[in-house]
Amino acid sequence: ILGVAIIFLFSFTGTILPIILKKNILFGSIKIFGVGIIVGVAFIHMLIPGDQLLISNNSPHFFKEEHPHFCGALVIIGIIFAHLIQVLTSHILQTKVVKKKGKEPVVYNDTEKTLSIGSIKDISESRPSTSVTTTTTELCCLDEKDFDNIVDKREKQIVFYLVELSVAIHSLLIGFAFGLSNVNKIIQLTFALVFHQFFEGIAISSIFLEAKFTRIKPYLVMIGLYTLTLPLGAFIGIIVRESFNDDDSASIGIQGCVDIIASGILIYDSLANILSHHTDSKIWNTMSIGKKAIQMFCFYLGLFMMALINTWI
């Protein structure tokens, strides 16, 4: 129980730190370090252990004998799921924003009349071409920019939800395994999980801040969900420790499949949606080569930290 409390404290600290430092010049490096953590968790702490579970001696016959390389298919399922969610939500968001923008009034300065966006064309036909063309273009560009910003913000929030869901599942499984552990291994596991949860908390919080939530409720949900999932899994493990059969083939198969599918979600979101967008942003393109090198070093450091922690777990 003391080990769970210590892990909870460090998980909470990890999520709070980026929020405190979000206006600091180091935030970009902290964020990219967090992305490295997430990628490392996906490959090292979820994909590989999940594959090892599916080909272990006590795994279901379907995975162990008939399809020993089924891990790849499960990763693809996770990637396809994440991509499908992104495509569908992006389409829905764009449709909603277009409908909303079409109903909003726009003030035309020259005539001081309130007009709908759809009536700009009517103005252009009734006003002199030289002045109206400029005003109409400015209005359209402004509206398009607002549209892109709204959709981009919502898409980043969807990405965060998927990452948070995958990490929460992973933390729950780790906590459950921690609760089932022998007393002799508790100190070593606690030490490793303290670092694991702290750095992963930094990663989750950094991605959360990138999504630009404005209300306090999402902050509380993010912090609460991340900090409580591992302790919850640990308490469940402690409760069922005496009756749980860790050699049961069904439980091994389920745990392995869930871990691998969740890793596919994290791999897609961290690389395709977060890292790729970060290194293709306007801020990144205006950076000096030195600042880019520092941020990429932080990304690789995050990967290395997860690899190092994996040797202790």
Checking if the pLDDT of 125 tops 70, the result is no
Asked if the structure places residue 241 within a domain, the reply is yes
**What's the pLDDT tens digit per position in 177-232?**
788 776 666 777 788 788 878 888 888 888 888 878 888 888 898 898 889 998 99
Look at residue 118 and tell me if it is in a domain: no
Looking at the domain assignment, is residue 278 inside a domain? yes
Answer whether residue 142 is part of any domain: no
Residue-range definition of the domain harbouring residue 58? 2-102+152-310
Alpha helices in the chain (DSSP H): 2-20, 27-40, 48-54, 61, 71-103, 120-126, 129-180, 186-210, 216-239, 249-268, 276-278, 282-285, 289-310
Q: Quick one: pLDDT at residue 306?
A: 85
Q: Is it the case that residue 106 has pLDDT exceeding 60?
A: no
Output the pLDDT for position 298.
92
Mean pLDDT of 132-150: 52
When the pLDDT of each residue in the chain is averaged and rounded to a whole number, the result is 78
- Asked if the model's pLDDT at residue 122 lies above 70, the reply is no
Residue 140 lies in a domain: no
In a domain, 123, yes or no: no
What whole-number distance in Å separates Cα of residue 263 and Cα of residue 82? 11
pLDDT per position as a tens digit, 23-37: 777 777 888 888 888
- Dist CA 311 CA 47 (whole Å): 15
In tens, the pLDDT along 222-271 reads 898 889 998 998 888 888 877 777 778 888 888 889 889 988 988 988 88
Q: Is 138 domain-assigned?
A: no
Q: How many domains does the chain have?
A: 1
Assess contact for 58 and 249: CB atoms under 8 A: yes
- List the structure tokens of 50: 């999940």
Residue 72 lies in a domain: yes
